[in-house]
A and B are shown apart, each in its own frame.
Chain A
Amino acid sequence: MNIQQNTVSENNFEQCIKCTICTVYCPVAAVNPDYPGPKQAGPDGERLRLKKPDFYDSALKYCLNCKRCEVACPSNVRIGDIIQAARIKYGPQRNTSLRNFVLSNTDLVGSLATPLAPIVNTAVALKPVRMVMDKVMAIDHRRIFPKYAHGTFTTWYRKHAAAQQAAYPKQVAYFHGCYVNYNNPQLGKDLLRIMNALGYGVQLLDKEKCCGVALISNGLYKQAKRQAEVNMASIRTAVNGRRLDVITTSSTCTFTLRDEYPHLLQLENEDVRDRIELATRYLYRLIRENGAKLKFREDAAPLRVAYHTPCHMEKMGWEYYSIELLRMIPGVEVTVLDSQCCGIAGTYGFKKENYATSQAIGEPLFRQIEASGADLVATDCETCKWQIEMSTSKPCEHPLHILASRLA
């Protein structure tokens, strides 16, 4: 008889034994009493929602989707996924607020903003403009916007880099993400410089859309899925057709492509998932496992770097690679900050109703950064960078930017 031989059901929440460790590790539950915490919002709530969908609690919107609950869970419950899936299934189905649209459509807003970058950057830095955005769109006036670049990374790449890439003996594909494209093309250029130095040409995907993380957290699931499908098709062409690994410089983009697509958007990626890599991990392995060598400047001034582990980095368990990569750079002294959420969580911290929570979550990290004596903070996540730069006195850079700047 084969009765209950395999009791692991699709309802992963059944594995929860209510130890409540997730709630202890939840950055939101610690500072916002309106959020019931991951155990309550996740496994407990799911059981009640299965009874009747009207047990859906709108307080689930306070979840940052940081997945620190999943990292903490000893029973392997995908708590964060349960909460996000519940928002998709039971939450408001039409989310058309202007603010959420603007914040989550990073591609559209980015392409509109970059040609007018000097004007846009000046405007959003003005206090009256920020007050208007606060009142009209509920984007908190205290939040400092990331600057737009004047001209996108892809434009630069096509004009100045594409032609040379074929000359390198090995090739890799690069998922640059919106941040590199619209805000920080320099990081993309840094990556090219490093990869080229190792003998790798960098190619772009046939078609790249925003990974969709902001769309998911703002309830625009259909659009997220459409974009995800475009990305998966491009990644498959790169991996299967062009025989390329796909690397990214953003920890959250990587996490979204690898894990959120199958878990939240029901988009299978098992065939290519292992080929989607974070650039720092890819580089670390090239250097440590394949003996690739980088030549560094010997004359660079000593630099004290404090590494901040972004939440999705923690979830992937890959912060080690970025930290070790930094440690390979001569003259760089690395300290590792406690792994804790900085509070911004993508678009979350931009919203007026979340601003206080966002800053309260980040407070212990900010204090630790100030006390660290570091010259600068390094992290693999762009929104963590914005939050740290806005909330502390230190600049914050991507590990690859630091590395590239010290190449011989």
Chain B
Amino acid sequence: MNNTYDVIIIGGGATGAGIARDCSLRGIKALLLERSDISTGATGRNHGLLHSGARYAVTDHESAQECIRENMILRRIAAHCVEETDGLFITLPEDSLEYQSVFVEACRKAGIRADVIDPEEAIRLEPSVNRTLIGAVRVPDGAIDPFRLTSSNILDAKTHGAEIHTYTEVTELLREQNRIIGVKAYNHHTKEEERYYAQVVINAGGIWGHGIAAKAGITVNMLPAKGALLIFGHRVNHMVLNRCRKPADADILVPGDTISLIGTTSSKVPFDQVDNMVVTPDEVDLLLREGEKLSPQLAQTRILRAYAGVRPLVASDDDPSGRTVSRGIVLLDHATRDGIEGFITITGGKLMTYRLMAEWATDLVCKKLSIDKKCQTAEIPLPGSAESREEVDKKLHGKPVVQRRSTIARHGALAVEIEGNDSYKNSLVCECEEVSIGEIEYAMEHLAVNNLVDLRRRTRVGMGTCQGELCACRAAGLMGRKDPVCARKAKADLANFLNERWKGMAPIAWGDTLRESEYTTWIYEGVCGLSDQEVITEKTAAK
């Protein structure tokens, strides 16, 4: 087995995937190692907000500029992951209108279009907005799907020769004197240890990058800042809603695919807790209390889930909350910083700047390897974004309309790859999100799916209102058909998927969500006989 590469990228978040793509487009042989599935860290646990940069305009001019530039690039290269919704920064009676002028001025300085509009016009544009607002500014915010974005980068990287190994956890950085020459990794599937070698190892581990750097005896001073969010059952708003004030808790409401998201909180967490993110009742209360101010109807809207991610902030001053720390990109060449060759860390930044982070990191790799190739990731569209949704729609006329639109929203131009010529392939696995058998088979075939949770990230199976009630067992059946595993393993996968769904529901388990979860329990324990599985004990414990 050839285990030598030009670069090894540690971390399968948006940044790692972006680096893999950038490297492979420049002809650099790259290997990406991810301990779990792609986009499982902060990449998959944020707002999915296509920042215009307006939020940072007043406090962090540089980040704001980066955001608006990347915003415009992503609209082109990742069109199928982006929804151009625009956003409003609203001033409520409790806020000061004076901030609005400071805000607008700062936006313009950063190159962000910011139009002050009449409160009545704001209500007309976004009927769900708090009608007591006294001011509104329209900015080019949008929504971006981080799962699709990461998956597309991975797909393109693979097409251009990169290797992607998920469920492969780096346990050690192999060192020869003052040089990192490769990594030792544990393959969670084969349960075997593997060794890979490269001229440059890139640490793109997000908050876990702290621990990766530590394996080389290097300290990257990070601040793990937890951010909790709530998912509402359907779209409440069609434009992103922000508060026009200094960034604070729970002041962004984003319409993301079929749902709306309110977030976030911000609290410091110890490093030993970053793998154990639980949303607390206080956080839920705070999100709802503040969320209602943006859109009062959140008070009556069914909540699907709560979840939290950890921002990989890099300390630049000693603010303990992590709120005022720079969101800027941090690229560390450990050769110059720490005297260790062949090892770089890319961190800080945001989902919005993943591409730029990848560009910086790859530029540094090129410099180290004396490769003279320019970055092209700002120009070449990602797979799926080469054609407009309308053009793809025309090609898929045979499919039922709702399914067609859903599939195109998820896969863009690649939706044409999904088989759907007969009623079997068009049968629905996930009814809430309109995921067909054809789409599941496509994902299993092409999008590196190892288990049901991976499948969810690629297709939205189980992300709808029923949270797996009807689709989980169907999807499990299809998984088993493609790759026959023993019944025990298949059951464990199903139980794990349902537990993961329950984990997000537990903090907000009341009303219809609780009723539905009880029904789900009845189906899986009573009908499917999962009752001897760990699903029961864990669920009771969570309750």
Interface residues, chain A, with chain B CB atoms under 8 Å away? 1-4, 6-11, 14-20, 33, 36, 39-40, 43-45, 47-48, 50-52, 54-59, 75
Contacts and interface: CB of A to CB of B under 8 A. Distances in A.
B433 to A, nearest CB: 8
A48 B406 contact: yes
Contact of A44 (B431, B469, B511): B431
A50 B234 contact: yes
* Those 7 A-B pairs whose CB atoms lie nearest each other, nearest first: A9-B300, A7-B511, A17-B516, A14-B302, A18-B466, A3-B288, A47-B234
Interface residues of B, number: 37
B300 A7 contact: yes
B81 to A, nearest CB: 16
Interface secondary structure of A, over-half rule: loop
B431 A1 contact: no
Given A9-B302, A40-B431, A15 B512 contact: yes
A258 B432 CA distance: 32
Contacts of A4: 288, 299-300, 303, 510-511
A56 B401 CA distance: 8
B258 A18 contact: no
B309 interface: no
Contact of B258 (A10, A19, A33, A51): A51
11 contacts: A2-B299, A3-B285, A3-B292, A4-B299, A7-B510, A9-B297, A15-B512, A44-B432, A50-B235, A55-B405, A75-B515
Contacts of A59: 400
A48 B233 CA distance: 11
A60 to B, nearest CB: 10
A32 to B, nearest CB: 13
Given A1-B289, A3-B289, A19 B519 contact: yes
A14 B466 CA distance: 10
A56 B434 CA distance: 13
Interface in B250-282: 255, 257-258
A33 B423 contact: yes
B134 interface: no
A235 B303 CA distance: 42
B234 A14 contact: yes
A57 B234 contact: no
A28 to B, nearest CB: 16
A405 B423 CA distance: 54
A307 to B, nearest CB: 35
Nearest to B516: A17
A36 B402 CA distance: 10
Contacts of A20: 470
B326 interface: no
Contacts of B512: 7, 14-15, 17, 75
Nearest to B284: A3
Nearest to B471: A18
B301 interface: yes
Interface string B499-539: 00000000000111001100100000000000000000000
A176 B348 CA distance: 75
Nearest to A13: B234
A55 to B, nearest CB: 5
Contact of B402 (A2, A7, A17, A55): A55
A48 B402 contact: yes
B464 to A, nearest CB: 8
A354 B431 CA distance: 26
Interface string B415-431: 00000000100001001
A3 B299 contact: yes
A201 B220 CA distance: 93
Interface of B: 233-235, 255, 257-258, 285, 288-289, 292, 297, 299-303, 400-402, 405-406, 423, 428, 431-432, 434, 464-466, 469-470, 510-512, 515-516, 519
A47 B432 contact: yes
Given A36-B400, A39-B431, A57-B400, A16 B289 contact: no
A18 B234 contact: no
Contact of B300 (A6, A47, A54, A55): A6
Contacts of B297: 9
B290 to A, nearest CB: 11
A43 B302 CA distance: 13
A17 B513 CA distance: 8
Contacts of B289: 1, 3
Given A4-B510, A9-B297, A51-B235, A45 B285 contact: no
A9 B299 CA distance: 9
Nearest to A47: B234
A56 B464 CA distance: 18
A19 B257 CA distance: 24
Contacts of B466: 17-18
A18 B235 contact: no
Given A8-B300, A55-B405, 19 more contacts: A4-B288, A4-B511, A7-B300, A7-B302, A9-B300, A9-B301, A14-B233, A14-B302, A15-B512, A18-B465, A19-B519, A36-B402, A39-B431, A44-B431, A47-B234, A47-B465, A48-B405, A48-B406, A57-B401
B301 A45 contact: no
A9 B260 CA distance: 15
Most A-side CB within 10 Å, residue of B258, B292, B300, B303: B300
A17 B297 CA distance: 21
Nearest to B286: A3
A180 B98 CA distance: 69
A17 B514 CA distance: 10
A266 to B, nearest CB: 17
A147 B288 CA distance: 62
Contact of A47 (B258, B285, B423, B428): B258
Nearest to A58: B401
B465 to A, nearest CB: 7
A292 to B, nearest CB: 46
B400 A10 contact: no
Contacts of B292: 3
A19 to B, nearest CB: 7
B285 A54 contact: no
A15 B434 CA distance: 19
A312 B303 CA distance: 34
- The residue among A1, A3, A18 with the most chain B CB atoms within 10 A of its own CB is A18
A4 to B, nearest CB: 6
Nearest to A8: B300
A11 B431 contact: no
Contact of B516 (A2, A18, A44, A55): A18
B515 A17 contact: yes
Contacts of A10: 300
A36 B428 CA distance: 11
A52 B464 CA distance: 16
Contacts of A7: 300-302, 510-512
Nearest to A33: B423
A34 to B, nearest CB: 9
Contacts of A8: 300, 511
Contacts of B423: 33
Contacts of B511: 4, 7-8
Nearest to A17: B516
Nearest to A16: B465
A14 B232 CA distance: 10
Nearest to B467: A18
Contacts of A14: 233-234, 301-302, 465, 512
Contact of B401 (A11, A18, A55): A55
B289, B402, B510, B515, most chain A CB atoms within 10 A: B402
A45 B234 CA distance: 11
A121 B258 CA distance: 53
B228 to A, nearest CB: 15
A50 B260 CA distance: 11
A298 to B, nearest CB: 57
Contacts of B299: 2-4, 6
